[in-house]
Amino acid sequence: MIGTIANTAAILTGTMIGTLLKKGIRPKYQEVLFHAMGLAATGLGINAVVQNMPNSQFPVLFIASLAIGSLVGNMLEIDERFHRLAAHFSSSRLGEGLSTAILLFCIGTLSIVGPIQSALYGDHTYLFTNATLDLVTSAVLASTYGIGIAWAALVLFCWQGGIYIGAGILSEFLTEPLMCEISILGGFLIASSGLSILKIKDLKTLNMLPALLIPSLFFFLHSLF
């Protein structure tokens, strides 16, 4: 779990740095940092798609997964429910900051696919990349909301740790073709998050998360026939 530990440590480090900046990072510099993160996320997403799509055994599966997953996510109102939940903390600046931090740190494809790649292949690239992004993000958030943002590190550790353990248990089912399809979808979702951070288009990436489950269901049904 070295990748998850590094990711957790990055958030704690970023929180300490941000807290030390007592006057906070000026808004124009916050915008610059978020633009940089948005570009990085978009580039990583495109790279994941380009690298994995040639290896796909079912070239149209990602299209069906995105379509079905997005419909399910919209029917479940995942994005709306999360923001309504976050609204309950609107009276507390720390609550607002934590809800934002947990969304950025945990509900992202790097935090979902990363632990799986780490558990199955010992590849920590996604998690190290996520750690770099989270280091900057936590510093920006902590400079505004304070050291309480560090609680998000505990949430992330439990989240990624659970995925890591689950991937280890289900390693026989998580085959290379399945991981290829999940990685393609992950790339699209990472790019979607990047576009949202850049404020080019809010694609409500949270509503697309069920798409990551469609390939698993497809491969399970495919194995039966």
Note the pLDDT of residue 99. Answer: 66
Mean pLDDT over the full length of the chain: 84
**Residue 136's pLDDT band (boundaries 50, 70, 90)?**
confident
- Report how far residue 179's alpha carbon sits from residue 216's, in angstroms, rounded to the nearest whole number: 9
List, in order, residues 6 or more apart from 91 with CB less than 8 Å away. none
pLDDT per position as a tens digit, 176-204: 898 889 889 888 988 887 888 788 988 88
What is residue 53's DSSP assignment?
A: G
Instruction: For 84-130, give the secondary structure using H, E and C.
Output: HHHHCCCCCHHHHHHHHHHHHHHCCHHHHHHHHHHHHHCCCHHHHHH
Q: Region 196-224: what's the mean pLDDT?
A: 87
**Residue 6's pLDDT band (boundaries 50, 70, 90)?**
very high
Q: What is the Cα Rg of the chain in Å?
A: 18
**Residue 162's pLDDT band (boundaries 50, 70, 90)?**
very high
pLDDT per position as a tens digit, 80-90: 887 677 666 55
- Report how far residue 86's alpha carbon sits from residue 79's, in angstroms, rounded to the nearest whole number: 11
Q: Which two tokens stand for residue 15?
A: 């929180």
For the chain, helix (H) and strand (E) counts, in that order, are 10, 0
- Residue 207 near residue 78 (C-beta atoms within 8 A): yes
Question: What percent of the chain is predicted at pLDDT more than 90?
Answer: 29
> Looking at per-residue confidence, does 91 or 62 come out higher?
62
Note the pLDDT of residue 86. Answer: 61
Say how many C-beta atoms besides its own lie within 10 A of residue 164's C-beta.
20
Note the pLDDT of residue 133. Answer: 85
pTM (predicted TM-score): 0.75
Note the pLDDT of residue 26. Answer: 74
